[in-house]
């Protein structure tokens, strides 16, 4: 096992260790989670399959739980005694059902096996998705007791991972809390998402005097968009709240924003002249794709003392500033 970055102090860590293992630390949510944990005074042990640029203050440990199995993670936990493990790893909206099952179910099973074999039991904060729920009609917010019959392969794979975590906790093998995240956006939003795709198109060069063309599928849905910083603060709160053990908590903004309004905000933040084209591309959207989504965050507010603090304008501005800086 190779750790890269800040070295561990001599001696065996004890219960006062502030170390936190972040799985998927080089991904979008993982990076934000690591930043929030460090800001809260924790030492970040970043785990990912491949090395990527991370803050110099983080330790990095290359690891592939799916391919190599849980033994290396068990050794890391036994050696470092982290206070928590944050599972921000996974596969989002892959075209392959098998890939999603590997990243969202098998990886979780490997993680639980590693925790079960370790001599030290940290708090596990597992990041699920609101897509694990059955889509609701307009005006009905998703609560923790909403039905869990996902209509997408992605939601089904995430639900299988969540159920494994809850089962392990009920059986006393794991000290875990599940956070079901809504649509997370902010600096570093990946181009695979709607707003990430818009940002990438806005960065394209247009001919002199011509607007930038942004081409999208028809914008007719409303979604709950949560700022990545807000979601990361919820992760820190869940890690520090013993009473959250075994709970599922929704993390979102608590509001439903029309995707067109979000796209318009992003275009305004860019300052570019834009020609927006909505085109189905000859495809028909599945009837099971819900048009409206909102997340009830009452339970997280009451149990964790957490509330979303950032509005969509600030979130979209962060997204654009980061995209423009890296473009």
Q: Which residues are catalytic?
A: 154
Q: How far apart are CA 59 and CA 125, in angstroms?
A: 19
Give one DSSP letter per residue of 189-258, joined into a string: --TTSHHHHHHHHHTSPPPTT-PEEEEES----EE-EEEHHHHHHHHHHHHT-GGGTT-EEEES-SS-EE
Q: How far apart are CA 164 and CA 205, in angstroms?
A: 47
Do the beta carbons of residue 179 and residue 128 sit within 8 Å?
yes
Eight-class DSSP state of 275 = E
Chain centroid to Cα 317, Å, comes to 19
**Phi, psi dihedral angles at 281 (to 5 degrees):** 65, 20
């Amino acid at each position: 096992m190779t750790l890269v970055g800040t070295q561990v102090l001599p001696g065996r860590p004890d219960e006062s260790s502030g170390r936190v293992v972040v799985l998927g630390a080089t991904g979008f949510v993982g990076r934000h989670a690591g930043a929030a944990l460090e800001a809260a005074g924790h030492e970040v042990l970043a785990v990912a399959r491949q090395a990527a640029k991370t803050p110099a203050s983080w330790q990095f440990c290359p690891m592939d739980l799916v391919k190599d199995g849980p033994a290396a993670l068990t050794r890391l936990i036994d050696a470092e005694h982290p206070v928590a493990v944050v599972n921000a790893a996974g596969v989002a909206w892959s075209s392959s059902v098998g890939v999603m099952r590997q990243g969202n179910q098998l990886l979780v099973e490997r993680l639980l096996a590693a925790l079960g074999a370790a001599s030290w039991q940290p708090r596990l904060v597992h990041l699920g998705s609101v897509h694990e729920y059955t889509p609701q009609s307009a005006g009905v917010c998703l609560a923790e007791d909403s039905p869990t019959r996902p209509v997408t392969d992605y939601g089904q794979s995430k639900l299988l991972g969540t159920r494994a975590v809850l089962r392990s906790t009920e059986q006393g093998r794991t000290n875990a809390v599940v956070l079901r995240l809504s649509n997370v956006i902010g600096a570093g939003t990946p181009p695979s998402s709607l707003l990430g795709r818009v940002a990438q198109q806005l960065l394209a060069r247009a001919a002199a005097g011509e607007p930038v063309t942004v081409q999208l599928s028809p914008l007719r849905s409303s979604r709950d968009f949560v700022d990545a910083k807000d979601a990361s603060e919820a992760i820190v709160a869940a890690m520090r709240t013993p009473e959250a053990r075994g709970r599922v908590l929704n993390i979102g903004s608590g509001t439903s924003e029309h995707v067109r309004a979000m796209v318009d905000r992003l275009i305004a933040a860019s300052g570019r002249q834009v020609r927006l084209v909505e085109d189905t591309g000859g495809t028909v959207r599945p009837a099971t794709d819900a048009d409206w989504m909102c997340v009830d965050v009452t339970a997280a507010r009451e149990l964790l003392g957490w509330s979303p603090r950032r509005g969509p304008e600030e979130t979209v501005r962060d997204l654009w500033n980061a995209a423009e800086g890296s473009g």
